[in-house]
Chains A and B, each alone.
Chain A
Amino acid sequence: METLDFHCRLIMDEYREALPVLEDMKNTVLARLNDALGRSGLSVTAVEARVKTEESLAGKLVRKGNKYATLSDITDLVGARIITFYTDDVDRIASMAEKLFEIDWVNSVDKRRLHQLDSFGYNSLHYICRLPDCDFRFELQLRTTLQHAWAAINHDTGYKSGIEIPQEYMRRMNRLAGMLEMADDEFSRIRTELTDYRRRVQTLVQSGRLDDVMLDGDTFRSYLQVGSIDALNRRIAAINQAEIQDTPLSRFLKVFKALKCNTLGDLDRLIKQYGDDAYLLARHQLGNTDLDIISSAIGLQNICIVCILSTGGGKIGLERLFDALNGHNTQNGALAELTYEQAKNLPFMQNNK
């Protein structure tokens, strides 16, 4: 503070007086950003805001105090930052911010566009914004997680301006910035291609071209949405007028892979082939109980059981099924024994004898 001249000390006094207003402004900005992001459904890494500390402001005034006539000339007294997963989202959130705040276009800067064709470095979009009826402006920084990592590490070195940085160090940091820019672009491309892939799969599933779709996590989910398993579950629930509790079904994917289902067509045929027997097994098990709650896993579970027993997998096959579904467990042997005993007199087992 001793190094501040009279003019800068006046600005510091003004700052101390304005602190409650700045704090309110920070909270309002943060609330508006969180609200808008929540409504947009965009997922981001972080939304943060801060009021500039007295120490940081004093440092700024020491470096370039003459640039500011009054406190309100300083545009980053309140700073907000949104860190996104994808580079495309920076632009989406920028357009969202343009609707939320009044943008000071003269002082806003897209640092991503400042680089020459052969240079790399700090990448971030900085908007200088204003809330309605507020004397002070604030800075909104938008960047990706990788850009943020680069900026944070660069800042950690303690250099405030590019001039001070030793050439060799600057070259290595810029080399990393170039590499991270490529990684950001690749992450965005992967997201776009995955979205296209999911759309294509949904189209194929809806048009019934199931043999054209390889079985994987995404396609399995799409297939389950078609509803043939829901129909089987509802049929089973009707035995005791039971309520169906939703449970995750993704663990069945590896079982169907082990049962040689390579495409959704294979899976669909297997479900159609064993669906009726899966229902009979459930009716046999639940029919003389008063259990009126079942899991949404029951249909797939019984299809796997029937498939294994119908194809001669026996108790060992069932134990392997339960190992795959429940994790390896000493109880699975007993479970296999019990299931086999319950199923052994059902019609699909007679065909197997």
Chain B
Amino acid sequence: MSDPVTPLNHARFDGYVTIAEAGPTGMITLRGDLADPHLSETLHGVIGAGVPARGRAEVIGDNTICWMSPDELLLMAPRSYVPDALARIASAMGDRHHLAADVSDARAMIRLQGRALREVLAKLSPADLSPAASPPGTIRRTRLAQVPAAILFQGPDRADVLCFRSVARYVFGLLSNAARPGSEVHRTAGAGNPEQ
């Protein structure tokens, strides 16, 4: 097998926020009864943490569990671990109703780094992305301009955007365009100085 080709070939744009493709990352869609303690136990065994709260992501070392909907999680782990993780989920869940599928190649992951990353995202998403509404550890499913996306707030200066693979270049273009130097939004722009 060749090395997997990522959707953006590690593209990078240095604007007032840095936009760069992250990954490849292993991803598993897991649907099931999130209230079932057995599912939580299974996750502890496979990934190292249980079911996150609504709208939250749990990061444990190289692994992340994201809450995607009331019956869906997204597990992120190194790609090499995915087959093993799927096998372990299947054996631990047994006959319990669930769906686990490898979706490592279905999405692009784009990393935003810089203090103004929330501002860049706010040019494209109607969601409230302020630190108060979306503190680090939040995963926010929303849209960026015309396509669906999820934003994982990793820390004050870092967020990861997940979008479908086919629109990776569109989303990368959107983010780069929004982060163009000269388009910064200053909180008090022009307040004291009309020449600004």
A associates with B: no
| Residues of A that sit less than 8 Å from B by CB | none
| Residue ranges of B at the interface with A (Cβ–Cβ < 8 Å) | none
